[in-house]
Amino acid sequence: MWQRHKAQRGVWSEKMLVALQEGVKGNKWFSLIDKVSRLNVLELAWGQVLSNAGACGVDGITVERFAKDSQKRLLAVSEQIQRNGYQPQPVKRVWIPKPGSAELRPLGIPTVRDRGSPALQPPLSLPPPRWCRLP
């Protein structure tokens, strides 16, 4: 099922995908934070950040520098998430040229630590759950 929904293997279990698609008993959803704070999930996300490379954020820490002690850093992020103490850092704003124009557009660059990853997001290809009412 994870392949059909383009979900990240190792993050979204079969049971979780079924729950996302069909809803849960009583329509009460509980936190997924315990899933995204798992070290193996953060390692999957880090692998994607590492493969994308990119510029450093406001803290000046590059992907290469983060990689030198990534296990220690990921463990710290995991603990911060579990304690509800995780605070993302400000996003660095740079201006880049618009394609085919002399104008510039803003681009936000998060810190390496804060970079989002599809591994941490629910699969977007899922149809809305049957209990979800769309306008």
Looking at the 3D structure of the chain, how many domains does it have? 2
Decide if 54 contacts 66 (C-beta within 8 A).
no
Q: Could you list the beta-strand ranges (E) of 1-114.
A: 92-97, 104-109
* Whether residue 21 sits in one domain with residue 36: no
Q: Is the pTM of this model over 0.85?
A: no
Q: In which band, very low, low, confident or very high, does the pLDDT at 59 lie, cut at 50, 70 and 90? A: very high
* Whether residue 55 sits in one domain with residue 112: yes
Q: Is the pLDDT of residue 107 over 70?
A: yes
Report d(CA 110, CA 27) in Å as an integer: 34
Q: In which band, very low, low, confident or very high, does the pLDDT at 48 lie, cut at 50, 70 and 90? A: confident
* Whether residue 17 sits in one domain with residue 72: no
* Whether residue 19 sits in one domain with residue 83: no
Report d(CA 73, CA 52) in Å as an integer: 18
Q: In which band, very low, low, confident or very high, does the pLDDT at 125 lie, cut at 50, 70 and 90? A: very low
* Whether residue 115 sits in one domain with residue 68: yes
* Whether residue 23 sits in one domain with residue 39: no
| Domain-located, residue 127 | no
* Full domain range(s) for residue 68: 31-88+108-119
Report d(CA 69, CA 73) in Å as an integer: 6
* Whether residue 82 sits in one domain with residue 39: yes
Return the H-helix or E-strand segment holding 55.
none
Report d(CA 50, CA 38) in Å as an integer: 18
Report d(CA 88, CA 43) in Å as an integer: 18
* Whether residue 72 sits in one domain with residue 55: yes
Decide if 35 contacts 7 (C-beta within 8 A).
no
